[in-house]
Amino acid sequence: MPLPDAVRDSLTAQFATLYGDRASEALAGVEAIAERYDLPAKQGELWDEADAVLITYGDMVRPDSGEAGGDGHALPAQTKWLLDHELNGPLSGVHLLPHFPYSSDDGFSVIDYRAVDPDVGDWDDVEALGERFDLAFDYVLNHCSAENAWFKAFLKQEKPYKDWFIVEDPEDPRLQQVTRPRTHPLLTPFQTADGTKHVWTTFSADQVDLNFAEPGVMIEMLDVLIGYAARGARILRMDAIAYLWKRLGTNCIHLPETHTALKVMREVLDAVAPGTLILSETNVPHAENISYFGGGDEAHLVYNFSLPPLLLDALTTGDGQYLNDWLRGLSEPGTGMTYFNFTASHDGVGVRPLEGLAPPERLEGLVAAVEARGGQVSRRTNPDGSKTPYELNCTYFSALGDPSAGNDAGARDAHVRRFLSSQAVMLALKGIPGIYFHSLVGTPNWGEGVAQTGRARTVNRRKFSRSELDEHLQTPAAAAVFEGYITLLNLRRAEPAFHPEAGQTVLDLGPDLVALVRIDRDETERIACLTNLTGSPVTADLSDVSGWRGGVDLIGGADHAQQVELGPWQTAWVKETA
């Protein structure tokens, strides 16, 4: 399809900003992409209260050896497990973490962007999953694998690939200004046909950064982007986009050129694959994070990265002061924008988003609590050479355990209740919820896996055979988490007050509680969402909620007037009486 004139004019201006006198080269590349695709617009609203996305690896559930298909693809085994449990009702979508051939980092070092990892399956398997669920794909755009064919051509110094990666002088003092998310050296030496070259590697020596200052890279990656939409992706997650553009003399994070590049991607998607949503992944302090909404012309969805550590802090200390302060100050996204709420993902719990929201001693307390529960802590290097925590490596379920409690039924039930209340808070918030697989099934820390790989993040990345997963779900804690989670999801999807654009008012009922009222878009239905953050009974007083008539707890079934009694770590969703 030809580009509309307005889109063409806008892209011309954007490319002039990025590429100067090479702007016409970039525009011609986009026009060629547009001519190859004619994708129908996605039907219906952008989102609604039924939206809930499972975050999972394509091989999270593998077939048992010896069963039909047991030596074959993993993704059909996971699809079957999801459908066997009828999860295409409680869950609207599945975010497949990188399902491409890779060389490291559990998929985030992509060898071939257009292929499916043969251990996962093939595109037919992905499309079969997409027949029952909306799909979200990872768009790993900052870097590719050192084994990628593009980088192999760079090593041979072949055109155009010799310009597709970033080479710098390791003695350049300006490199010290670059924000570092990891502790390894920023530049990695590689032997090329023209001698040793020091190549920019933000995340690891095996993950070489792409040079988006070269128009050819932009065009190639836009073709990958539209190709994913053509394969059925409804949501595209922009992995590590904050680091996309590099300019020495700056900190090389959140640069204006990065935002311009994202505007280009949004405009091309809107024109060629209308209705496809962009989710930005920027695990940084909150104000920086939400800048990726732009003016409604960048991401549709932004991860609420401050939620996981603040919620963990509140439930660990029994004090919701900092969580509630943040919730009350949460900015209202404009039309066509919303938050992607979550508590856990394939990574750990990022703690940079706590900066400016909670004092350092609360972070120190979280570090100690996670380590006491068998988790680990990853640290990054600061410009002055010091190291500070950037991520807590644990499952969210284990992080909310009590290492001093015994293994009796009472302690187990308290742990499950505390964990499910953490998820209920997330599900009640304005936005679209993302549920990591290991949260859905209540997986504890996988210390054995960390011992096998030597990588802290493995603690949260266990993969199951179907029989192992079935056995896990027969344990009392996992069974209770799974059943309780599905109940919450089914309740949520039935209530218009949980629409991503429905109203939200955060109440001030003291630090023992998280309390908010969701109001449907017609302002005819209200639900008071109340969570006790402590191990003692608490009363939530709703008498100051204007005109509150009392109602019934959707979770527990009890009727409540203006006083709602909550047991330890209990959550109530009280739907107001009509």
Q: Give binding residues for substrate as ranges.
A: 105, 143, 237-239, 346-347, 457
Q: Give binding residues as ranges.
A: 105, 143, 237-239, 346-347, 457
Report pLDDT digits (tens) over 94-124: 999 999 999 999 999 999 999 999 999 999 9
**Is 465 inside a domain boundary?**
no
**Is 335 inside a domain boundary?**
no
Sorting pLDDT into bands at 50, 70 and 90, what band is 44? confident
CATH number of the domain bearing residue 39: 3.20.20.80
**Is 540 inside a domain boundary?**
yes
Predicted local confidence at residue 67, as pLDDT? 61
How many domains does the chain fold into?
Answer: 2
Q: What is the pTM of this model?
A: 0.96
Are 376 and 391 spatial neighbours (Cβ–Cβ below 8 Å)? no
What region does 550 belong to: left with phi over 0, alpha with psi -120 to 50, or beta? left
**Is 337 inside a domain boundary?**
no
Predicted local confidence at residue 406, as pLDDT? 66
Predicted local confidence at residue 65, as pLDDT? 80
Sorting pLDDT into bands at 50, 70 and 90, what band is 384? confident
CATH number of the domain bearing residue 571: 2.60.40.1180
Kind of pairing between the strands at 526-532 and 571-576: antiparallel
| 235 alpha-carbon distance from chain centroid | 11
**Is 420 inside a domain boundary?**
no
Boundary residue ending a domain (284, 300, 316)? 300
**Is 180 inside a domain boundary?**
no
Predicted local confidence at residue 578, as pLDDT? 77
Active site positions, annotated: 239
**Is 570 inside a domain boundary?**
yes
On the question of pLDDT at 199 being above 80, the answer is yes
Predicted local confidence at residue 554, as pLDDT? 99
Mean pLDDT of the chain: 96
Predicted local confidence at residue 349, as pLDDT? 96
Predicted local confidence at residue 70, as pLDDT? 46
> Which residues span the domain enclosing 531?
503-576
- Closest CA relative to residue 142, chosen from 182, 173, 177: 182
Boundary residue ending a domain (265, 300, 335)? 300
Predicted local confidence at residue 281, as pLDDT? 95
Segment holding 360, helix H or strand E: helix 360-372
Segment 381-403 shows an average pLDDT of 89
For tokens 């077939």, name the residue: 63
Instruction: Collect all residues with Cβ–Cβ distance below 8 Å to 400 and sequence separation of at least 6.
Output: 312, 315, 316, 415, 418, 419, 422
**Is 528 inside a domain boundary?**
yes
Boundary residue ending a domain (240, 272, 300)? 300
Predicted local confidence at residue 72, as pLDDT? 77
Report pLDDT digits (tens) over 214-258: 999 999 999 999 999 999 999 999 999 999 999 999 999 999 999
Segment 53-65 shows an average pLDDT of 96
